[in-house]
Every structure is written in structure tokens, then in C-alpha cells.
Amino acid sequence: MKHLFLPFLSLFVTFGALAQMDAALLKDIESIEDQVVEWRRHFHQNPELSNREFNTAKKIEAHLRSLGMEVQTGIAKTGVVGILKGNDKGKVVALRADIDALPVTERNDLPFKSEIKTDFLNTETGVMHACGHDTHIAILMGVAEVLSKHKDKLNGTVKFIFQPAEEGPPPGEEGGAKLMIKEGVLKNPDVDAIFGLHINSGTPVNTIKYKPEGTMAAVERFVVNVTGKQTHGSAPWSGVDPILISAKIIDGFQTIISREAELTEAPAVITVGKITSGVRFNIIPESAQLIGTVRTLDPKMRDMIIKRMTDMAQDIAKAYGGSATVEWQNNTVVTYNDPSLTAQMLPTLEQIAGKENVSLMKATTGGEDFSYFQEVVPGFYFFLGGMSKGNTTPYPHHTPDFMIDEDGMLLGVKAMSQLTIDYLNKT
């Protein structure tokens, strides 16, 4: 099948890797590629936001039931879990895919582009799979079908976890991996290890990147509420300007990174992504609000930054005659690849992709709530190439122009299938 917007791309892996992979398994994986692409396009065209993935969940459920699996639904609101039992009790391995989309209006000419619109936090917006979760769903559905045909090769049990709200639940709601764990997704049967992948628009197709230990950042959301004193814009001396105070706070936050955080130990980021204040050009308002994120890879640095930001916002506001409060919400902890599990499974990835196509990566300041699963059981999370050959300017994730090369998905099905078999049969 020739995929849209894709030039000729090599799908070859090394002869040695092909020789080591079970021939019947490989045949079934390759024969399902067109179906995986079709699923991906369906989900891409019909995206749903976090905790609202109702139709997505129904399609996943129907597929898993068609494979004869035990299926659990409604976990963490819209999560779906399929349980596949092999030929003996053995260990239990979980495979996870995230299923939610983002409030982003798609901007490309794909025939299966999203036209979905919604109201998100009182703002009209499009809905788009702008982070590749549509490919994750399709890949894991493909793995479920392949392994269900080869369950005689499984010395243990596989849990297929389709997780909602990875991007974070709406304000005031619980969701995501945290809620799935709270509701027992890693129990009954108890999971021994978990694998996950993330397709990446900046990583070449048919390659894999990984990192032992800390791989992705802990993510905090903060809200700074600044209070001043409203007055006429022509007489600022008769009030307290919360916009000026906000500017000083933002400037001060950046000095924590540039002058206080020991960046040679680990990177860190403070970003203010939203500022709200005022209603008219000639009125100094009474209040302002800053909303942003902190990304850290070191627990001690995380604690230092949170304390310094809280103290600094309050002290700066007081110095200019106002006041400020800071609210914190943790969205993820550090995505931590268990070193022993990573070393154990690395030969499988090298076998499937070819050793030359598997490489170490540096830690990233992106966040991933797969990290909560890794707090409970050993986990291995890696990145799958989704960038077309010759593309030197890939669009970033979470943007309207984000695009994935569909030829990258077949390697994902191969990798997750073989990781499962090798883990259950070699431990």
C-alpha cells in the first residue's frame, strides 16, 4: 500500500533480524499494516479530547472483543483494557497506548484531516491528534490482533492498556494514568513490567531512540494570581499595577533558571504560557493571572524551583505594593526507564530494527504520564521514528501542522510484539 504524502521509503531491516523473528509472526505483522494505517486515519479524522474519548473507546472495545479477549471498560472514565492469556501462567506484561487528542485546529491538506470543532475552556477550537496518539492506538490494536493469533508463543499474560487523558484531564477532573492506577489497572492480574512507545516527528522512520533511567521530565502546572489596586490609566500613582508586577515576576522566574539552577546536573525549564488581565486600554486593572509550566529532571532541583518561584512571586508583588499567590499541580513525574529492564530488552529492539537503527538519546523536557506506571512497576518507554526520509524541517508535536509518516508504524507493531514475546519467554 502506498501511503499518502509519503515518498519511497526503505522498509528494510537487517537480514539477521528477519532471520531471528518467527516467520509466521512476521508474516501476520506485515499483512496487518494496511489495517493499522486505516485505523490510524479513522482516529485522526475523529479525535476526542481528554476524558471525552467515548467513540474512540467503543471502537477499541469492539476490536478487542472481536479477538476473543476479556475486556474491561470505563476505567478512568473512558479507558479500555484487554487481557490476553498465553499458554501458561507465567508473568504479566502490560502494553500501553494513549488515546486522547488536543485542542488544536489542524492545518494541512490531508484527506483524513480533522474537521472536529469544540468548546474548550470557553474557547472555540479545533480538535486534532497533534501528538501522534492516533498512531499509538492503531499500533497497539495491531499488536493485539497479531498476538491473539500467536498466543501459543506467550508464556504468560498480556494486558493491553488504552489510556485516556494523557494530555491531562480537564480542570476539576481526575484522569490519565494516575486514575487508571488508582482504579486498579495494574492489578488482577498483577503486572510485572510495562512497555510503551511514542512516535516522534523529528526521528527518522525505521529508527528507534531510547535512554535508560530519566528520559522525560517531571511536569508541573502553576497559576500565579496577582492582586493590585485598580485605577485610571492616566494616574498610575493612585493604584497598584498588577500587569507591571506580573512582568517583574516573569523576569524574576527566568533568573531562577539562568542564575540558580545547576544546569550542568540536569536541564530545567520555566515557561509562562498564558497571561490574563485588564478589560480596557485606559484602566489599570485590579488583578492579573499567569499560567505556565515547570519541567525538571532532578527531584532536588524541582523542589528548589517550586519553592523559589513561590517565594519570589510573593516577594516581588509585595515590593510593588501588591500581593500574589501561587498554585501548583503536578502533571507527571520523571519518566524513568528501569535500567535492568532496558538492558534486558535492548537486544530485542536491535534485532527488530537493526542495531544501526537503535540509538541512545538525551533526556527531553517533554513530559509523559506513562511515568506514573513506572513508579509502580518496572517500565521501558522508547521513541519510534515518524519523520519521512529527507525531511529536514519536521513540524513539532502539539502544532497545527504536525504530521507523521505512516510508514513508521509497522516497526512499532514489530517492536511491541517481539518485546512482549521475549519478555514473557525469557524471564
Catalytic machinery residues: 100, 166
| Cα 355 from chain centre | 26
Q: Could you tell me if residue 188 is left (phi over 0), alpha (psi between -120 and 50 degrees) or otherwise beta?
A: left
Quick one: which of 397, 374, 369 has its CA closest to 384?
A: 397
Q: What is the C-alpha separation between 213 and 295, in angstroms, rounded? A: 17
Q: DSSP of 224-271, one letter per residue?
A: EEEE-B-EETT-GGGSB-HHHHHHHHHHHHHHIIIIIS-TTT--EEEE
Q: What is the C-alpha separation between 360 and 382, in angstroms, rounded? A: 10
Quick one: which of 166, 103, 108, 96 has its CA closest to 129?
A: 103
Quick one: which of 242, 83, 196, 52 has its CA closest to 147?
A: 83
Q: What are the grid coordinates assigned to 359, written together?
A: 540509538
